[in-house]
């Protein structure tokens, strides 16, 4: 009897392991192999960000910031084109303090960031990218200089050629959310195949990105289309209230955690123009830089809940800085890298852990390394609460500030820098 019991237990464990492994294999291959349909996603968000930071080492500095933003973003995907656009208005209120002085500043920025990749065959593309900002800052400190203002304009266009493609798999993950929710509710007779999941994912991409002027009519049409699709896909045992409750929960809370799959390399030229005017002394600062760059990124969706992202880049080229009539020529160079582990355990939450490192050279070597964590939780389909925290160390390191061309470490001070904050976002649409 004992031998029989032991045999049954071993068989159950083996069956459970085989099923779990099979489920993981399906998740891995479905996310890796999924090809998204043509779609254009648009969002408009309002955000409130509160964060603080501290620096130890050569300078001891503490700061508290309140940053509000109004941001419009869109992402387009097709066989011939992938591109994104972000336009925003940022306001930043900051208080800086150390043993010797206090500094209070208010900053307003209009920013525009866009990346565009045009594919001339399945894997090769030409890229046109640009980052730009117009800013105004008013600063009051405890030094004799008193109050200062700054006007700034920054333009960073880039031209590139590359190979590879990062496929958006957000809707593939959303299809898996629906499968898991219906299974949990006891309304799915059998697991979906990869073909059935693709049918659901493609329809989600379509119905989520149709514009409506009336939000109520939008929801009605979306659920009607989704219900018709589920009947076509099959596998649902009962189309009752329990089915609809689990379907709507997965659909409403599983739309916005961005994930990609694929490998991409890119070579190009980037030009940065930075002009700043300080009052009351009317000090004019100008910086012009043209650099070659190389970047590689690898996104690996390992399972339903786990994502790995690796990226590395190099950049360097001549730079001219003119400060109040005094010109200096330099040739700065950067080498940077980043690894991020993304965890997506539920439809409502995600958590990221990462490490960044950078090396800078211009007459002397500068280095920086940082560890960070951030995450989000959806309070409702429109409200999202996020957090971020990190620690960074740097010595003689200067950030390249070219906005997403290669990984950024964002370290401005020598020594240790600590930072943390929370953000509340509301999606208008």
Which pLDDT belongs to residue 59?
Answer: 65
Q: At what angle do helices 170-184 and 2-33 cross, to 10 degrees?
A: 150
CA distance 376 to 386: 4
Residues 6+ positions from 13 with CB-CB distance below 8 Å: none
CA distance 130 to 424: 28
Neighbouring CB atoms inside 10 A of 241's CB total 8
Q: Could you say which residues of the chain have pLDDT below 70?
A: 1-23, 57-60, 99-101, 142-146, 255-256, 280-281, 411-412
Which pLDDT belongs to residue 412?
Answer: 64
Which pLDDT belongs to residue 111?
Answer: 92
Strand extents, DSSP E, 251-318 = 260-279, 283-301, 306-316
Which pLDDT belongs to residue 281?
Answer: 65
Rg (CA), the chain: 25
Which pLDDT belongs to residue 242?
Answer: 93
Exposure letters 285-322 (e unless 16+ CB within 10 A, then b): eebebebebbbbbbbbbeebebbebebbbbbbbebeee
Nearest to 169 by CA among 210, 194, 191, 201: 201
Chain position carrying tokens 């649409």? 429
Which pLDDT belongs to residue 1?
Answer: 42
Q: Please state the pTM of the whole predicted model.
A: 0.85
Neighbouring CB atoms inside 10 A of 18's CB total 10
Which pLDDT belongs to residue 58?
Answer: 59
CA distance 376 to 387: 7
pLDDT digits (tens, 9 = 90+) for 108-128: 999 999 999 999 988 899 999
């Amino acid at each position: 009897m004992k031998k029989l019991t032991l045999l049954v237990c071993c068989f159950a464990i083996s069956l459970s392991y085989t099923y779990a492994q099979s489920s993981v294999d399906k998740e891995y291959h479905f996310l890796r192999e999924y090809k998204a349909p043509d779609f254009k996603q648009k969002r408009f968000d309002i955000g409130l960000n509160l964060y603080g930071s501290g620096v130890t080492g050569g300078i001891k500095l503490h700061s508290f910031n309140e940053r509000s933003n109004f941001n419009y973003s869109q992402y387009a995907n097709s066989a011939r084109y992938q591109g994104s656009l972000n336009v925003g208005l940022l306001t930043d209120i900051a208080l800086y303090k150390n043993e010797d002085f206090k500094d209070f500043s208010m900053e307003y920025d209009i920013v525009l960031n866009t990346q565009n990749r045009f594919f001339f065959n399945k894997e090769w593309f030409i890229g046109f990218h640009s980052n730009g900002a117009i800013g105004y800052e008013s600063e009051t400190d405890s030094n004799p200089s008193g109050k200062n203002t700054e006007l700034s304009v920054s333009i960073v266009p880039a031209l590139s050629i590359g190979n590879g493609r990062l496929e958006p798999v957000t809707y593939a993950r959303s299809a898996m959310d629906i499968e898991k929710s219906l299974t949990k509710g006891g309304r799915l007779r059998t697991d979906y195949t990869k073909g059935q999941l693709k049918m659901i994912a493609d329809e989600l991409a379509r119905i989520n990105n149709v514009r409506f002027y009336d939000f109520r009519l939008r929801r009605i049409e979306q659920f009607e289309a989704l219900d018709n699709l589920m009947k076509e896909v099959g596998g649902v045992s009962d189309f009752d209230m329990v089915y609809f409750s689990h379907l709507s929960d997965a659909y409403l809370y599983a739309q916005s955690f961005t994930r990609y799959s694929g490998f991409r390399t890119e070579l190009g030229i980037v030009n940065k123009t930075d002009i700043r005017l300080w009052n009351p002394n009317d000090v004019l600062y100008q910086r012009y830089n043209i650099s070659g760059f190389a970047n590689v990124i690898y996104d690996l969706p390992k399972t339903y809940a786990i994502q790995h992202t690796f990226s590395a880049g190099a950049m360097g080229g001549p730079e001219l800085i003119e400060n109040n009539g005094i010109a200096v020529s330099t040739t700065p160079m950067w080498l940077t890298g980043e690894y991020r582990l993304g965890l997506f355990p539920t439809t409502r939450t995600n958590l990221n852990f990462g490490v960044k490192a950078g090396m800078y050279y211009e007459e002397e070597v500068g280095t920086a390394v940082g560890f960070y964590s951030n995450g989000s939780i959806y309070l409702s389909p429109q409200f999202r609460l996020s957090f971020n925290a990190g620690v960074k160390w740097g010595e003689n390191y200067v950030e390249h500030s070219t906005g997403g061309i290669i990984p950024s470490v964002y370290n401005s001070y020598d020594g240790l820098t600590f930072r943390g904050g929370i953000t509340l976002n509301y999606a208008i649409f």
